[in-house]
């Protein structure tokens, strides 16, 4: 890819795990991400500001797994729909907190929600978001997923990207791209520099994001770059069209 500016409007998809503090699960002994890590959020704000300085418009969508995953709370007392509702609320909480950190870091921002909680966060609308991006130079953070149960936060991200005319989706994760198997379990796993939509959708061993979300990206021809969040300048370099992580196109 060229080193020239390739993308004007970028959607950054952050999982809830990327916003949480690292803790140890007392039952398994494994690392988990819980609560909200304001210092991590401050670091993300600094990386996002680099895009603003390049006049790149940026939309951020957030997951909620650091607080609640719908599938984790579903049981005989909580239906899958009710679990999804809890997960949606968790994404709104992350959007609110992330917006606070961005504002206190001096970044023009509007945190919004796909569901109505007017006492705490602005309601997402297409027209307001376009105005904020184009006229106010604000980062727009969207919580609430797609606004409906039954859809993943990946679907919420691609719905926002297609609606708002984003040129690129960046999925920031804990790994530096997409592999042919789990690199944590398999030291010999091979990283892909690029993938086509068809392979990413049909190969069960390849996990980029929700397959329905990938289908939406393919339908609208929006490239997706999967990269490591915590490496300095990764987000900027991806938005500038440099070869970072794995690109699906």
The 3-state DSSP class for residue 118 equals coil
How far apart CA 139 and CA 239 sit, in angstroms, is: 15
CB 179 within 8 A of CB 189: yes
Q: What is the pLDDT along the chain (249 residues), one digit of tens a residue?
A: 444 457 999 999 999 989 988 877 777 777 777 789 999 999 999 999 999 999 999 999 999 999 998 888 999 999 999 999 999 999 999 999 999 999 999 999 999 999 999 999 999 999 999 999 999 999 999 999 999 998 999 999 999 999 999 999 999 998 899 998 888 788 888 999 999 999 999 988 888 888 999 999 999 999 999 999 999 999 999 999 999 999 999
CB 8 within 8 A of CB 57: yes
How far apart CA 205 and CA 213 sit, in angstroms, is: 17
Chain centroid to Cα 26, Å, comes to 28
DSSP state of 121: S
Query: Can you give the pTM of this predicted structure?
Result: 0.93
How far apart CA 222 and CA 167 sit, in angstroms, is: 6
Q: What is the pLDDT of residue 5?
A: 53
How far apart CA 248 and CA 138 sit, in angstroms, is: 27
Helices first, then strands: H and E counts in the chain: 8, 13
How far apart CA 105 and CA 182 sit, in angstroms, is: 36
Residues 6+ apart with CB under 8 A from 132: 110, 138, 140
How far apart CA 74 and CA 155 sit, in angstroms, is: 20
Instruction: Of 242, 90, 222, 116, give the one whose Cα is nearest residue 167.
Output: 222
Instruction: Of 92, 58, 25, 88, give the one whose Cα is nearest residue 170.
Output: 58
Q: What is the pLDDT of residue 32?
A: 73
The 3-state DSSP class for residue 58 equals strand
Q: What is the pLDDT of residue 2?
A: 41
Would you tell me how many other CB atoms lie within 10 Å of the CB of residue 53? 9
Q: What is the pLDDT of residue 6?
A: 74
How far apart CA 121 and CA 225 sit, in angstroms, is: 29
CB 111 within 8 A of CB 36: no
């Amino acid at each position: 890819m060229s080193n020239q500016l390739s993308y004007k409007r970028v959607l950054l998809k952050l999982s809830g795990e990327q916003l949480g503090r690292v803790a140890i699960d007392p039952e398994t002994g494994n690392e988990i991400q819980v609560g909200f890590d304001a210092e991590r959020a401050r670091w993300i704000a600094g990386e996002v500001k680099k895009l603003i300085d390049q006049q790149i418009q940026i939309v951020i969508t957030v997951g909620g797994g650091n607080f609640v995953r719908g599938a984790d709370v579903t049981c005989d007392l909580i239906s899958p729909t009710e679990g999804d509702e809890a997960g949606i609320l968790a994404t709104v909480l992350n959007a609110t907190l992330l917006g606070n950190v961005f504002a206190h870091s001096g970044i023009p921002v509007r945190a919004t929600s796909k569901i109505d909680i007017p006492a705490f966060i602005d309601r997402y609308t297409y027209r307001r978001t376009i105005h904020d991006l184009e006229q106010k130079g604000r980062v727009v953070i969207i919580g609430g997923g797609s606004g409906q149960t039954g859809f993943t936060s990946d679907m919420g991200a691609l719905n926002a990207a297609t609606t708002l005319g984003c040129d690129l989706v960046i999925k920031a994760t804990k790994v530096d791209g997409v592999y042919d198997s789990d690199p944590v379990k398999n030291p010999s796993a091979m990283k892909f520099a690029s993938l086509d939509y068809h392979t990413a959708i049909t190969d069960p061993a390849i996990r980029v994001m929700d397959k329905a979300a990938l289908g939406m990206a393919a339908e609208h021809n929006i490239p997706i770059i999967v990269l490591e969040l915590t490496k300095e300048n990764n987000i900027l370099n991806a938005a500038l069209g440099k070869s970072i992580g794995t690109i699906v196109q």
